[in-house]
Structure 1
Amino acid sequence: MVNFDHVYERKGTNSVKWDAVNKMYKEDDLLPLWVADMDFKVHQPILDAMISYINQGILGYTTSSDSLYEAVQTWQKKKHNYIVEKEAILFSSGVVPSVAIAIQAYTEVGDAVLIHDPVYHPFAKVIKKNKRRVIRHSLIEVDGKFQIDFEKMKEAIQTNDVKLFILCNPHNPGGRVWSIEELKKIGELCASHNVLIISDEIHQDLIFTPAEFTTFNNADPSFKDFSITLTAATKTFNLAGIKNSMAFIHNTELRAKFCNIQEINQQTEINTIGLLGTEAAYRCGEEWLDDLLIYLQKNISTVEKFLQSEMPLVKIMKPEGTYLIWLDFSAYALSDKELENKLIKKGKVVLNSGISFGPKGSQHMRLNIACPNATLLEGLERMKKSFQAD
């Protein structure tokens, strides 16, 4: 069993999560439970693979090896029953860069791109930066889980002549793992209106029983004709800094367009450590991942029990996947800025502001639980302090 309880010092490492917050908020002694990376040490065999390569002393240009492709294919088949032919696998520096490539490849300036609300905030940013129109479709909350109103989604597609839909599965920030029935409805709706689909599946390995993850292309074989799937080992194995991801594109025409934009932007090369880390993670990381999921479930229970006992006004959306928890602070009747200021200035704890994920995120916060349990408890105590009377 991996010791996930060990607390590592990350300050002073140029960490976005730990070192950027003081400059951003101009406050000292902040505890960051925001940016989606983990405070756990990378699995040692992954580090060993990188160290072994570095020790040979020459860091020249590197190609994607056959063994890397095999590792990706084996992992997808074993963990997700997903068959990906080698030629369908493209490497990129990240999922968000791949979203940008896809937007440039499959849409024109001024086209409408649909996203859910709330959803991972870089989606809207990259759509706007590429001069496309952001169309938001609001998710609805039913029995503590996000659901899709398919009639409203259809209306949004028709009214705005949507060309592309970005799906987040598992959903960030709500932790929802979309069912195969929901995925089929999404695919059928988009197919009937000639809407291409980007399926962001970077959290696909972080799933809690009894939830079952289905990759979008497995919901119906025909979906491969009008979709691309994006994923990576980086979220699963705490490797965000190695900058490598995969795009699975089965349709040859879609693949050619994606490759063309990569070449136009000179984005076809991946750094060596990214390639090595991805292969090592998929070859030796399964047991580590099993231990991680157990630990994350323990942390979810910690949050549930603490809020029920100490902060009953805060509603928790229990995640089916990811290591992120969506918290509803609306009972306090604060503005988004007031809520953020209370947590930062009084509690000295940093969460992701819910409004950044879209208008439906107002009065919410996203909590990252991928940290030692002691760190999490300290963060929860700081949250509690934020709302105590002076």
Structure 2
Amino acid sequence: MQSFDQIFPRKNTNSVKWDSIKATYNKEDLLPLWVADMDFMAPQPVIDALATYTRQGIFGYSVVPETLYQAIQDWEKTHYNYQLAKEDILFSPGVVPSIGVAIQAYTKAGESVLIHDPVYHPFANMVKANQRNLVTSSLKIKDGHFVMDLVDMEEKIKDQHVKMLILCNPHNPGGRVWTKEELIACGRLCQKYGVIVISDEIHQDLVFAPHQHRSFHTLDPEFAEFSIILTAATKTFNLAAVKISMVYIKNPALKKAFQAVQNATEQNTINTFGYVATEAAYQKGKAWRKELLRYLAENITFTQNFLQTHLPKVNVMIPEGTYLMWLDFRTYGLSPKALEDKLIQEAGVVLNNGAIFGEGGRGFMRLNVACPKETLAEGLERIRGVFGE
């Protein structure tokens, strides 16, 4: 089994996480703990499958293998008791492109789309880029984690005539794994007002016990009538570069509308390496994922203890899922730009500025702990050297 402590040099590999830093910040020797990919080698069975495909040496057009459909169905049934027929599964280059397709398929220009605040920033970008009206509902912090404000959501759904909700489950950047009761309440609200739900579940496999991921479709059979699921193996197995995701749609009318936009924009053409990697990951990656979750949990605990000991003014939201930690620097009284500049110029560490996730993210930073513990410890020590007392 792979050692997640091993450090793999990623500079000069065209890595967004490592090689875009100089162009972004005009500064060398910054430690990247930002972009949401992992500094871990992919599972060996995936590497082997891709190598086997590469050795055959011909890279022509390909079809989706039946074995891939079966691998997806088996994975969802085994891990989430989610029953999928082959006909329920569509493919897309990524979750964000799928959000764009869904916006075009299910809403018209000027209509309202609701997202939470803070939340993964491409949600807002895609809504605005497609000339839809962006409506946000602020998440509340209760007992150290995010909760939905259903009263606020309902008011905005009614007042703004919301047509679509883009849901992040598990939540990025807060790491919240929504409970069955929370998701049902959200679903009932959307059902009441005829709101289509686009559920981004790409972090579904990165959930820590005793928390459990529940796909939106599994909560109530009726929910599949007004929702679609977006997910991928790429986040779980560190395969972002192979550019593939899945779209699960059980309602024939929703599927037809989604496919119509895909066909008009060629958003249904997938890199064959994505097919190969996803099938291998789902068929042979279970043990790797188990060890990954253990290692990530250790890194999260290490970070929590470090901050409590050395940086008690930084409040941390302990993630129930994902490898992202939401750090609250508001007690320092810095603007988002001043906070980011201090981390960059003085600490030499790159985190994601919380403000990009919405107004509710001002004064926060998002930390990626999916790296060898040595790298993580160095980053935390750099932050301590500037913000410690």
TM-score class, shorter: over 0.9
Match of 1:116, SS state, is strand
Report deviation, 1:386: 2.6
Residue of structure 1 in register with 2:65 after alignment: 65
Residue of structure 2 in register with 1:144 after alignment: 144
Report deviation, 1:2: 2.7
C-alpha separation in 2, matches of 1:386 and 1:92: 43
Residue of structure 1 in register with 2:260 after alignment: 260
Residue of structure 2 in register with 1:310 after alignment: 310
Match of 2:237, SS state, is coil
C-alpha separation in 2, matches of 1:294 and 1:268: 35
Tell whether the 8 Å contact from 2:166 to 2:198 is kept in structure 1 after alignment. yes
Deviation digits for residues 176-209 of structure 1 (CA, Å, limit 9, x no counterpart): 0001111111110001101000000000000001
Q: TM-score, normalised by structure 1?
A: 0.99
Q: What are the equivalent positions in structure 2 for 1:203-222 lying under 5 Å apart?
A: 203-222=203-222
Tell whether the 8 Å contact from 2:224 to 2:250 is kept in structure 1 after alignment. yes
Residue of structure 1 in register with 2:228 after alignment: 228
C-alpha separation in 1, matches of 2:304 and 2:76: 32
Q: What are the equivalent positions in structure 2 for 1:57-96 lying under 5 Å apart?
A: 57-96=57-96
Aligned pairs, number: 389
Letter in 2 for 1:143: D
Structure 2 unaligned runs (5+)? none
Deviation digits for residues 348-367 of structure 1 (CA, Å, limit 9, x no counterpart): 00000000000000000000
Residue of structure 1 in register with 2:380 after alignment: 380
Deviation digits for residues 39-87 of structure 1 (CA, Å, limit 9, x no counterpart): 0001111011011011011000011110000000000000111001100
Residue of structure 2 in register with 1:324 after alignment: 324
- Percent identical among aligned pairs is 54
Residue of structure 2 in register with 1:153 after alignment: 153
Letter in 1 for 2:48: D
Residue of structure 2 in register with 1:120 after alignment: 120
Is 1:240 aligned with 2:267?
no
Query: Moved runs in structure 1, 4+ residues, more than 4 A?
Result: none
Residue of structure 2 in register with 1:164 after alignment: 164
Report deviation, 1:388: 5.1
Report deviation, 1:387: 2.1
Match of 1:205, SS state, is coil
Deviation digits for residues 223-249 of structure 1 (CA, Å, limit 9, x no counterpart): 000000000000000000000000000
Match of 1:235, SS state, is helix
Residue of structure 2 in register with 1:365 after alignment: 365
Match of 1:228, SS state, is strand
Match of 1:313, SS state, is coil
Letter in 1 for 2:239: L
C-alpha separation in 1, matches of 2:371 and 2:301: 14
Match of 1:374, SS state, is helix
Match of 1:137, SS state, is strand
Residue of structure 1 in register with 2:3 after alignment: 3
Tell whether the 8 Å contact from 2:310 to 2:388 is kept in structure 1 after alignment. no
Letter in 2 for 1:385: G
Is 1:107 aligned with 2:138?
no
Residue of structure 2 in register with 1:290 after alignment: 290
Residue of structure 2 in register with 1:178 after alignment: 178
C-alpha separation in 2, matches of 1:386 and 1:109: 47
Residue of structure 2 in register with 1:347 after alignment: 347
C-alpha separation in 2, matches of 1:268 and 1:388: 50
C-alpha separation in 1, matches of 2:93 and 2:285: 21
C-alpha separation in 1, matches of 2:73 and 2:156: 36
Letter in 2 for 1:268: N
Letter in 2 for 1:229: I
C-alpha separation in 1, matches of 2:81 and 2:386: 45
Letter in 2 for 1:262: Q
C-alpha separation in 2, matches of 1:320 and 1:267: 32
Is 1:34 aligned with 2:52?
no
Report deviation, 1:385: 1.9
Tell whether the 8 Å contact from 2:93 to 2:270 is kept in structure 1 after alignment. yes
Tell whether the 8 Å contact from 1:348 to 1:382 is kept in structure 2 after alignment. yes
Residue of structure 1 in register with 2:48 after alignment: 48
Match of 2:184, SS state, is helix
Deviation digits for residues 112-154 of structure 1 (CA, Å, limit 9, x no counterpart): 0000000000000011000001100000000101011111110
Letter in 1 for 2:16: V
C-alpha separation in 1, matches of 2:156 and 2:216: 21
C-alpha separation in 2, matches of 1:381 and 1:134: 39
C-alpha separation in 1, matches of 2:273 and 2:65: 13
Tell whether the 8 Å contact from 2:311 to 2:388 is kept in structure 1 after alignment. no
Tell whether the 8 Å contact from 1:342 to 1:387 is kept in structure 2 after alignment. no
Letter in 1 for 2:182: E
Report deviation, 1:267: 1.7
Q: TM-score, normalised by structure 2?
A: 0.99
Residue of structure 2 in register with 1:278 after alignment: 278
Letter in 1 for 2:234: T
Letter in 2 for 1:224: A
Tell whether the 8 Å contact from 2:228 to 2:249 is kept in structure 1 after alignment. yes
Tell whether the 8 Å contact from 1:88 to 1:248 is kept in structure 2 after alignment. yes
C-alpha separation in 1, matches of 2:163 and 2:318: 32
C-alpha RMSD of the superposition: 0.7
Match of 1:46, SS state, is helix
More moved, 266-275 vs 107-116: 266-275
Letter in 1 for 2:29: D
Letter in 2 for 1:228: I
Tell whether the 8 Å contact from 1:324 to 1:368 is kept in structure 2 after alignment. yes
Tell whether the 8 Å contact from 2:97 to 2:267 is kept in structure 1 after alignment. no
Match of 2:234, SS state, is coil
